A = this chain, B = another copy of it.
């Protein structure tokens, strides 16, 4: 499927100028990884040696806390970048899991290759600066909402933000994302529909 690479290059070009020649170099540095439903892309204890781009499907990044409770940090569909950035940057064993919710296609670049690419194509450096800044801003908004809004308000916000994903994501994962139990989310939905 050559199309996965087209989605990747398009993703770069939304933020920085990339020549056709550079595009070919970039394509050559990413490797396709196909995942079945529920297949793990990263487990706690693994090293995270790649930056990862979702070309197709839907995945979740999560940690497991006390009593096997899942806390979902991020969902990712086509066009999103997903990783345990801390494990990637520090080269230490990951504390997180990444799992495919639906059959998915991911493009991966190894850290060593990416570090070289930063020098070969400075716009790649800039691309990841801007991408990370956007990610930081999104996380900061989530932090504010967690502190200032009720579970019901966070749920309504989730539905409007993730309209395109909502179909593919079971309710208990939405609960694990907004920070409530599945039982409580069920109660919220019941109350809302009245």
Contact = CB atoms under 8 A, between A and B. Distances in A.
Contacts of A71: 144, 147-148
Given A73-B140, A140-B73, A140-B139, A147 B85 contact: no
A174 B174 CA distance: 29
A162 interface: no
Nearest to A148: B65
A65 B137 CA distance: 18
Task: Count this chain's copies in the assembly.
Answer: 2
Interface stretch (A17-25, A26-34, A100-108, A126-134): A126-134
B136 A85 contact: yes
Contacts of A140: 73, 85-86, 139
A132 B136 contact: yes
A148 B69 CA distance: 8
Nearest to A178: B147
A125 B129 contact: yes
Interface string A163-183: 000000000000000010000
A134 B144 CA distance: 19
A137 B94 CA distance: 12
Nearest to A69: B148
A180 to B, nearest CB: 10
A16 to B, nearest CB: 10
A133 B89 contact: yes
Interface in A40-87: 63, 65-66, 69, 71, 73, 85-86
25 contacts: A63-B144, A65-B148, A66-B148, A71-B147, A71-B148, A73-B140, A73-B143, A85-B136, A85-B137, A85-B140, A86-B137, A86-B140, A89-B133, A122-B125, A125-B126, A125-B129, A128-B129, A129-B129, A132-B132, A132-B133, A135-B136, A136-B136, A142-B143, A146-B146, A146-B179
